[in-house]
Amino acid sequence: MAESRGVAVVTGAGSGIGKASVLALAGEGYACVLAGRRKEPLESVAAEIADLGSKAIAVPTDVGNPDSVTALFAAAKSAFGRVDVVFNNAGITAPPAPIEDVAFADWQAVVDANLNGLFLCAQAAYRVMKAQDPQGGRIINNGSISATTPRPNAIAYNATKHGVTGITKSIALEGRPYSIACGQIDIGNAATDMTQKMTGGVLQADGSLATEPRMDVKAVADGIVYMASLPLDANVLTMTVMATNMPFVGRG
């Protein structure tokens, strides 16, 4: 086990990017708090962390529920005394649809998870980091390439991820006096269940369907570890980690 690096809270930690990232943080010596909706996957990942020789607790959490988020950070403080790193990773997409056909329920669900949930977790983390001694910590938000460049038929996802950028910049600004650093990682086509559809072709801006390359999710986890490893007088405000050949730079 690596030397203790502090305490990390990761949302959406039961699978995909969250799982890869929390395992990487545990491998670096962080005690980890795993948050997500489903208890069983969280406990499975916590067992993997225990096998690495690190400490972990699983806390089933609905990030869109203020009381649930309060309980998450209370559990982190109770178990480990403080919070040093938070990776706000939890998020969802809605069924693809043109703007005029988007159901409000689908819009609301994405806003609740991707924007309200991220805000609630960031706010709770900020409160803990401001009050603890030594003061400070680092908040990392999962933005997505859609935070700057939208895909068609995904207005709810695009809008919420643009909103994540505003939250990130606000925390980076207001956190300065309290040694609270905040950055955003924008991810393009990490190979997870969420991007499996890329292998069968996805709608492009010109109306065509194209298979898009994906990258190993480990590249994202390595980025999270790097951002977390910096001293609090340094910050990665934005980082883009993407599949090299995906249609993004230029005109596709």
Which residue in the list 30, 157, 178, 226 is annotated as catalytic?
A: 157
Distance separating alpha carbons of residues 130 and 128, to the nearest angstrom: 6
Rg, the chain, Cα only? 18
Name the residue type at position 95: P
Annotation marks residue 178 as catalytic:
no
Distance separating alpha carbons of residues 102 and 168, to the nearest angstrom: 27
Give the pair of three-digit tokens for residue 24.
Answer: 């990487």
Rounded to the nearest 10°, the torsion over CA 219, 223, 226, 232 is -170
Distance separating alpha carbons of residues 161 and 115, to the nearest angstrom: 8
Name the residue type at position 17: I
In the chain, the largest separation of any two C-alpha atoms, in whole Å, equals 54
Give the pair of three-digit tokens for residue 212.
Answer: 């898009």
Give the pair of three-digit tokens for residue 6.
Answer: 């502090």
Residues 29, 57 contacting (CB under 8 angstroms): no
Which of 33, 29, 37 lies closest to 8 in space, CA to CA?
33
Which residues are catalytic, by number? 157
